[in-house]
Amino acid sequence: MYYPDFFVVYIDGANKQHGEIIEVKPASETTLAAARSERDKMSIILNMAKWQAAQAFCKSHGLIFRTLNETQMFHNPTNRRQRKRKR
């Protein structure tokens, strides 16, 4: 059984409803380039199989599937610049 990290439903500016399934993983478990160990590589292979199934499910149910890692979640250059100025 697969349980995603988040299921989000929202209404956009055009008043259209969207649904997304979001999976959050460390960068080392999302791309082979970021893998640091054999364990990470094995996790990536397993995750890719899960994500293919999740993508197929989402496509058949009109949902969006997205994966996020810490780099994507916490990358905000504007906030970083603001924090430097406050010091």
**Among the listed residues 22, 37, 32, the one whose alpha carbon sits nearest the alpha carbon of residue 72:** 22
The whole domain housing 67 covers: 6-86
| pTM of the entire predicted model | 0.73
Q: Is residue 27 part of a domain?
A: yes
Residue 53 has pLDDT above 80, yes or no: yes
Q: Yes or no: say if 54 and 65 are a contact pair by the CB < 8 Å rule.
A: yes
* Dihedral pair phi/psi, residue 13, rounded to 5°: -65, -25
User: Strand 17-24 relative to strand 64-68: parallel, antiparallel, unpaired?
Assistant: parallel
Whether 1 maps to a domain, the answer reads: no
pLDDT at site 80: 52
For the chain, how many structural domains are there in total? 1
**Residues 28-50: tens digit of each pLDDT:** 888 888 888 898 888 888 989 99
Residue 35 lies inside a defined structural domain of this protein: yes
Cα gap 39→2, rounded to integer Å: 20
Q: Locate all alpha helices (DSSP H) within 15-86, ordered by sequence.
A: 38-60, 70-74, 77-86
pLDDT tens string 2-18 = 788 999 999 999 999 99
